[in-house]
Amino acid sequence: MHKWSSLICTLFLLLICISGLPLVLREEIDGLLDDALPYAQVPEGTPNVSLDRVVDASRKLYPGETIISVFVDDDEPKIMVYMASSWEAFNADRKSLYSIRFDAHTGDVLKQTKPFGADGLTFLQVMLTLHRDLFAGLPGELFLGGMALLFIAAIVSGIAIYGPFMRKLDFGTVRLARSRRLKWLDLHNLLGVVTLGWAFVVGATGVINELSTPLFALWQQTDVRAMLAPLQGKPVPQTSELSSPQAAYDEVQAAFPDMITTTVVYPGSPFGSPYHYVVWTRGKEPLTSRLFSPVLVDARSGVLVSTVAMPWYLRALELSRPLHFGDYGGMPLKIIWVLLDLVTIAVLGSGLYLWLSRSRAERPQQHSATALLLPGAAE
């Protein structure tokens, strides 16, 4: 069981662990390589420019194209406008999304990006895509999710054979002198067992993250659809009919003063409603800052309609993100994440070595995989 569950996933897991390494430091690497114009120096307390102005500027830059969403950062003074040539194009290929970065205080354009891959891929984009879907879109996401599931099976089955194996050995024994194989077997066991809590959590949250597309689709088909049922068949608003996004933002902020309003998603989004702005808010406390709640605002009249229930599986997804990315505890946590990732690479590599050296050395004698790992047989 341990042999087969690990063998199938090991090569993919190695790829995931190696591509994940630079992703832990994604913000830092991005910041270093960022060629955007700097933020304007402004006096303390300068208010943000209106989202209406930013949206108008975006439409002037790309006439006839569609605004997908507007994101207001509360960390840096920036407003991001995400666009695509049309909703059809965006639905057919999410990677057709491009963005414009505005200075939140001045409304100046700081940077524009092309659709994914149109300008060649950056190093981090290659790593992220390998890590998430192997450049295969949704099937790749589900496939790697399956590999992560096998990784969890390998951890559990590894725990099951660790007990019998350690019956005659003290914890942490590494027999360096006996043979190279024995040394790596002991290292595999030691490094695997000290990191198993972390590996289990990162593996399990990885599975959940890979399911984000189907989970959002499920939410769309159930809660969101039920909510929109009364509006079924009504005409979808044209661009010229849209109410002010700034007004929608302000209305939500006023209705939920304990929340931070982050994103306005335009009507037509596959993650939203054909008739409403979906305004995303999040809490201010450490834990609730990870939990987002969507509020519907009628995109024609600008009237706040209601919040949408977030089901448990999307809450689980939201909490899975930080626990998988390791980006929630400052630089020291990121460094620990890198170290734990390196240890996991060593566990995978040594496991692979043990199997390769076993099949060379032991196969002629027809030993079963477990015989070697059972007490007594290891010596």
Partner 1 sequence: MTGTRPLRLIWRWPVLLAVLNVFGLLAALIGQTGIWLALSWIALTIPLAVAAICIVRSRA
Nearer Cβ to partner 1, position 193 or 309?
193
* Out of 29, 121, 166, 236, the residue judged to bind partner 1 by CB under 8 A: 166
176 binds partner 1 (CB under 8 A): yes
Number of residues that bind partner 1 (CB under 8 A): 40
Minimum gap (Å) between residue 325 Cβ and partner 1: 11
- Mark residues 246-285: x for contact with partner 1 by CB under 8 A, - for none: ----------------------------------------
- C-alpha dist (Å) from residue 129 to 132, 136, 138, 316: 5, 9, 11, 23
Q: Are 196 and 188 in contact (CB under 8 A)?
A: no
Q: Is 377 in the site for partner 1 (CB under 8 A)?
A: no
In the complex, the smallest distance separating the C-beta of residue 374 from partner 1, rounded to whole angstroms, is: 13
> Considering only residues 178-217, where is the footprint of partner 1 by CB under 8 A?
187, 190-191, 193-198, 201
- The answer to whether 171 contacts partner 1 (rule: CB under 8 A) is yes
Q: Are 102 and 110 in contact (CB under 8 A)?
A: yes
Binding string, 301-340, against partner 1, x = CB under 8 A? ------------------x--xx----xxx-xx--x--xx
| 321 closest CA partner among 201, 210, 205, 197 | 205
Find, among 238, 196, 194, 223, the residue nearest to 313 by Cα: 223
**Cβ within 8 Å of residue 40, ≥6 positions away:** 103, 105, 106, 108
Instruction: State in angstroms the smallest separation of the CB of 211 from partner 1.
Output: 20
User: Taking the complex as a whole, how short is the minimal distance between the CB of residue 18 and partner 1, in angstroms?
Assistant: 19
Query: Interface with partner 1 includes 139 (CB under 8 A)?
Result: no
With respect to partner 1, which residue has the nearer C-beta, 339 or 356?
339
Q: Which is nearer to partner 1, 43 or 332 (CB)?
A: 332
**Half-sphere exposure (Cβ direction) of 91: Cα atoms closer than 13 Å:** 9
Using CB under 8 A, pick the residue from 1, 40, 109, 174 that binds partner 1.
174
Between 53 and 183, CB nearer to partner 1: 183
Interface residues for partner 1 in 49-78 (CB under 8 A)? none
Tokens (6 digits) for 72:
């207001």
Query: Is residue 126 a contact point for partner 1 (CB under 8 A)?
Result: no
Shortest spacing between CB 63 and partner 1, in angstroms: 44
Does position 353 interact with partner 1 (CB under 8 A)? The reply is: no
Q: Which is nearer to partner 1, 35 or 75 (CB)?
A: 75
- Interface with partner 1 includes 163 (CB under 8 A)? yes
Contact between 371 and partner 1 per CB under 8 A: no
Residues that bind partner 1 (CB under 8 A): 159, 162-163, 166-176, 187, 190-191, 193-198, 201, 286-287, 290, 319, 322-323, 328-330, 332-333, 336, 339-340, 343, 375
